[in-house]
Amino acid sequence: MRALVLKDNLTLRQDYPSPGVLTLPPGEALIRVRQAGICNTDLELLRGYANFQGVPGHEFVGQVQACPSAPSWIGRRVVGEINVPCGACSLCRAGLATHCRARTALGIRGRDGAFADLLTLPVANLHPVPDTVSDEQAVFTEPLAAALEISDQIHIRPSERVVVLGDGKLGQLVAQVLALTGCLLTVIGHHQEKLDLLAARGIDTLLTDRSSNIPEIEADTVIEATGTPAGFKTAQHILRPRGKLVLKSTYHGLAHVDLSGIAVDEVQIIGSRCGPFAPALRLLDQNLVDISPLIHARYPLDEGVKAMERASVKGTLKVLIEM
């Protein structure tokens, strides 16, 4: 099959070994990918994040081609949760399967991903896509679920001042989701054209320059979605004492952290990663989240390397790969 393969560098292969029906692990489905989205984590993999080698890509919509353990799934259009736990360890038994030490993660950890004609995932990870949700909408399910994870982890009151740092792909979705809570929301970013997309939805925005001073604003909760180590410093500066700092960024490298300031201000730090797919699909089905302005380019899989190069250009939002 065709696949974008990361091994030292990224190349398109026409002869990558295809997963077959006879070799499907028990309980897994063979899925033909229809569309996939490039996210910041995929770009960080190219820089060495997680030391991943194989087929990247974890945002996708596809159609089930084979599923020996559950034939009723065949032909259905699906999206899929990316973490595949062992199901037997103490974390899995405690309901923390997404943190299973032995887990694989689609296109990120020990499992080939969605930048290919075919992929495999357990049936337990699959969610059917409503007929009213387009492929372009469905491919945003995974990052939208990640945005919804924030509301699952902390209660955001309508009276709270909340700041989202970052106007990129994830920051845009986080802002749209948090705006539904009625909180006092401000998005801080470096790109006026991206902030204008949020301002058009009635969301307050603040443009800053990378070389300027940290904005003088105080927040009860800060969502750090810049995708850079510098975002943590800014988040800590604008957070009030006993505030909540939610970390959504993943990147290759380390951040400099003022641990004394965190202790003195009694700040709560919440790591936030994957989230619930079913509510994400509901938001898309009800058109409560608008993904159309976030799509900046589409490429066929045969031009997948160019697609990744385009996604790496500063200011680019979502780039889709179409199979």
pLDDT tens sequence across 147-180: 999 999 999 999 999 999 999 999 999 999 999 9
Q: Residue 211 pLDDT > 70, yes or no?
A: no
Q: Residue 214 pLDDT > 80, yes or no?
A: no
Residue 66 β-bridge partners:
30
CATH number of 3-140+291-322: 3.90.180.10
User: Can you tell me the distance from the alpha carbon of 245 to that of 165, in angstroms, rounded to the nearest whole number?
Assistant: 11
Query: Which residue ranges does the chain devote to CATH 3.90.180.10?
Result: 3-140+291-322
pLDDT digits (tens, 9 = 90+) for 184-204: 999 999 999 999 999 999 999
CATH number of 144-271: 3.40.50.720
Query: Which residue ranges does the chain devote to CATH 3.40.50.720?
Result: 144-271
Q: Is the pTM of this model over 0.85?
A: yes
Cβ count within 10 A of residue 233: 16
pLDDT digits (tens, 9 = 90+) for 42-76: 999 999 999 999 999 999 999 999 999 999 999 99
Q: Are 97 and 41 in contact (CB under 8 A)?
A: no
User: Can you tell me the distance from the alpha carbon of 138 to that of 133, in angstroms, rounded to the nearest whole number?
Assistant: 6
Q: Are 154 and 223 in contact (CB under 8 A)?
A: no
Q: Which residues contact 23 (CB under 8 A, 6 or more apart)?
A: none
pLDDT digits (tens, 9 = 90+) for 86-123: 999 999 999 999 999 999 999 999 999 999 999 999 99
Which tokens in the block code for residue 241?
């004492």
